[in-house]
Structure 1
Amino acid sequence: MTTPDLHPLIEKISASIEALTPKGRILGEFIISQPRKAVFMTTKELAEACEVSEATVVRFVAGIGYDRYSDFQQALRDFVDTELTLLDRLDIADMQAPGAVRFRRTVAEEIDNLQQLYNALDVDAMEAVVDVLDRRVPVHVIGSRLSFTLAYYMGWALTKVRDNIRIMKGSDRTTIDWLTIAPADSVVVIVATSRYPNELIRLGKLVKRLGQTLVVITDSATCPVLQFADHHLIAAAKHIPYLGSPTPMSCLINYLVHELASRQGEALKVHQARLEQSYWENDVLFNMKDLEGRTPE
């Protein structure tokens, strides 16, 4: 579990607490002591809880380095998300609501997450990651626990676009072997989602020591693997999920693969023709022509 005084947001508040006005200190102490309440509050609700004005809340947020309340709230959300256990998440998930309500809420939250992805991502940073994936070197894609689902999807999709892709599990200790014997110019992509398995942090540190290029795709600026990254992309979720929110990251991965494919020219057709030939020769995929030896009318 994250130590509160090591989190950037809590550090900012703690470092500023003595310089704040008395009302500002009340806000700071409330947020440090009750972050799980504060994260869901509007400026009005936070002001009322601390018996200060909304203007005081706005000044407080600016005083600790955030241009907008939404930026402060996202940082607080990332902190709370990392801290929450499964039981904590169950408490805030409202499992007693009718199924239709939960369905609509789930869809609405994912729409919010995608809107945030659309508004927040740095196009230049995405282009830089595609440049790295376009190098004619081995690419290793690694995930663990929830993020392995996304890592597997990314690696699988990349194999349809270029060669020399390896998908690896962070929990498999032989991953250390593969990275150690990989060429020094290899690219390693680590996909990391909250609550950030320690094995991915160790692998990030190893990649850094080996001098390979590390790309980190994650859901928060507080991801501990980011300290080792040469390039990174953050698909932050706006809401705190019960188990996970893979939609923004899968959308980002789709873009990266599609953009990479657009750069391959004729080589892409050659690569995919080889794959299709192999599928056909080895009877890998269902084909309607094989149904009773004829194509259905």
Structure 2
Amino acid sequence: MNNNTDLINLIKSNYYKFSKGQKQIAQFIIDHYDKAAFMTAAKIGETVDVSESTVVRFAVSIGYSGFPELQKALQVLIKNKLTTVQRIGLEEDSGNDTDKQQKKIIKNELTNMRNLLDNLDTDAIDKAVDIILNANKVYILGLRTSFTLANYLGFYLDVILDNVKVLNNSGVNSLYEEIIRIKESDVLIVISYPRYSKNTLEATEFVKEHNAKIIAITDTESSPLYPISDVSILAKSSMVSFIDSLVVPMCILNNLIISIGMQEKDEIVEYYKKLEQLWDNHSIYQHD
């Protein structure tokens, strides 16, 4: 299954081929894909009055290995398509049990972290570290919620390296002014999650045209950044909410920072020795 295929259009284009039961499933997904993404095959079958096996066969008929793969595709779809208001509506469906809801949020994050541990592409991180350490200049781009991540990454990379620039978040014009001189010897680290920022994508395409290296930190292979990056570090999150969870991508950033830091250990130690002396001289931190 092509990850860039719009699933709803795929279902619509194959609608005439489906059996009567499959058409009922197809129509339910088209009308309620936000809910279908979190329903089991048995539950969807019960809802549209077909068997669970019919739901599984439906998934296979449109190119998936089974229902779990179709469900994952639906979850990617809603992260890209749902508005903030629609995301809030999904949370309202969870009920009014605040204790249960709060624990559910944490369990969801733990599941995401376990998935990251099981699927971490260490080769991609190693390749990204090598590109960053050999770059003439390191640019970091993240807009909207991802700007928090970009600032965090920039703060620590600036401790390790002396060629780091976090790109401005104040507007498109200032953004292009900052990257207009980017060269082949430079690298752009770009961070973007659903709903993907159009400005982020266009700026990354501009960098691609200038033949600079691109390291993308994003969620899945269906991200528009994936095909245009030299290295993609995927930090997937299945949370659907009116906020964007930064837990998994923050873990990826920590991994990247520490991996770079371990190769520049002597410089970091010297840097912090000087900083500690400055902090003491200016009473930056409270002492007992």
C-alpha separation between the residues in 2 aligned to 1:124 and 1:60?
36
Counterpart secondary structure, 1:215: strand
Counterpart secondary structure, 2:180: helix
Residues 48-59 of structure 1 aligned to structure 2 (within 5 Å): 48-59=46-57
C-alpha separation between the residues in 2 aligned to 1:88 and 1:284?
49
Per-residue CA distance 1:161-214 (angstroms, 9 max, x = gap): 222111113443322122111333111011112212211111111111111111
Counterpart secondary structure, 2:125: helix
RMSD (Å), alpha carbons: 2.5
The match for 2:78 among 71, 77, 80 is: 80
C-alpha separation between the residues in 2 aligned to 1:136 and 1:229?
15
Q: 2:125 matched to 1:162?
A: no
Change (3 A) 1:20 1:279: farther
C-alpha separation between the residues in 2 aligned to 1:246 and 1:139?
22
Residues 192-231 of structure 1 aligned to structure 2 (within 5 Å): 192-231=192-231
Counterpart secondary structure, 1:286: coil
What's 2:105 paired with?
A: 106
CA contact (8 A) 1:220 1:236 kept: yes
Unaligned runs of 5+ in 1: 1-5, 289-295
Which moves more between the two structures, 196-205 or 170-179?
Answer: 170-179
Change (3 A) 1:67 1:121: farther
What's 2:188 paired with?
A: 188
Counterpart secondary structure, 2:208: helix
What's 2:69 paired with?
A: 71
Which moves more between the two structures, 39-48 or 62-71?
Answer: 62-71
What's 2:121 paired with?
A: 122
Change (3 A) 1:285 1:220: farther
CA contact (8 A) 1:143 1:169 kept: no
Change (3 A) 1:53 1:138: same
What's 1:26 paired with?
A: 24
Unaligned runs of 5+ in 2: none
Q: 2:151 matched to 1:152?
A: yes
Instruction: Give TM-score, length-normalised by structure 1.
Output: 0.84
CA contact (8 A) 1:148 1:169 kept: no
CA contact (8 A) 1:170 1:203 kept: no
CA contact (8 A) 2:160 2:268 kept: yes
Q: Residue type of the partner of 2:215?
A: V
Change (3 A) 1:257 1:198: same
C-alpha separation between the residues in 2 aligned to 1:68 and 1:236?
20
C-alpha separation between the residues in 2 aligned to 1:125 and 1:197?
23
C-alpha separation between the residues in 2 aligned to 1:211 and 1:155?
22
Tell me how far 1:220 sits from its aligned partner.
Answer: 3.6
What's 1:91 paired with?
A: 89
Change (3 A) 1:217 1:209: same
Tell me how far 1:24 sits from its aligned partner.
Answer: 3.2
Q: How many residues align?
A: 283
Per-residue CA distance 1:76-118 (angstroms, 9 max, x = gap): 1121122222221221223862543332222122112212222
CA contact (8 A) 1:161 1:272 kept: no
Q: Residue type of the partner of 1:236?
A: K
Change (3 A) 1:186 1:274: farther
Tell me how far 1:48 sits from its aligned partner.
Answer: 1.7
Q: Residue type of the partner of 1:196?
A: Y
